[in-house]
Structure 1
């Protein structure tokens, strides 16, 4: 009897192991599309953050030029120089913002495309 109980226990363990292996395989297959969608989303978020960083870099450069005009010159900046620097800063920021908006609008299309590819 003792021998038959061990055989039944081994048989049950093997059956449970086979069932567990089967379940893990299909469970992993079912989660892969979700993982790929999340990766696509994270890639698009990373691209959006890079676009924001480029805009902040343009803002910093423009402000640096304006600040240098006001502080580093031996003579104070004339009104005309200040106006030119300010207009240059506004133009740079406008161009950077328009480029950013253009790239962001493309991101949504790329994100939708990558989601559909994963689905």
Structure 2
């Protein structure tokens, strides 16, 4: 009887590697939903930060127009022009803020939808 053709038992090292590979595979599968939820949350936070940046940009532009009226044309900037610039600034900021509120209210719905899709 020839024992050379018989399959030798795998070493302990090979068995450990197989178990580690199996564990890693299932461990990653179990954490994927949590990672996808974190990604959805980070995307939602990023959108909120972009909305805030757009509001700050509107504030800066409006303030710049009013400041230019006050500093560049001190003699030519009448009370009427100053009032017009101020009213334009208030309207721009109000519109930007209302748009921001509308988009922010949608964010929570989109975030919940993203979470449900991941679950």
TM-score by length of 2: 0.88
Q: Where has structure 1 moved over 2 Å in runs of 4 or more? A: none
1:78 corresponds to: 78
2:23 corresponds to: 23
1:98 corresponds to: 98
The structure with the greater share of residues assigned to helix is 1
Work out the CA distance in 2 between the residues paired with 1:74 and 1:94.
27
Structure 2 unaligned regions, length at least 5: 1-7
2:55 corresponds to: 55
Contact persistence 1:70–1:76 (CA under 8 A): no
The structural deviation recorded for 1:48 is 0.5
Query: How does 1:25-40 map onto structure 2 within 5 Å?
Result: 25-40=25-40
1:108 corresponds to: 108
1:44 corresponds to: 44
Structure 1 unaligned regions, length at least 5: 1-6
Contact persistence 1:69–1:77 (CA under 8 A): yes
Work out the CA distance in 2 between the residues paired with 1:76 and 1:108.
48
Work out the CA distance in 1 between the residues paired with 2:18 and 2:66.
71
Output the aligned Cα RMSD: 1.5
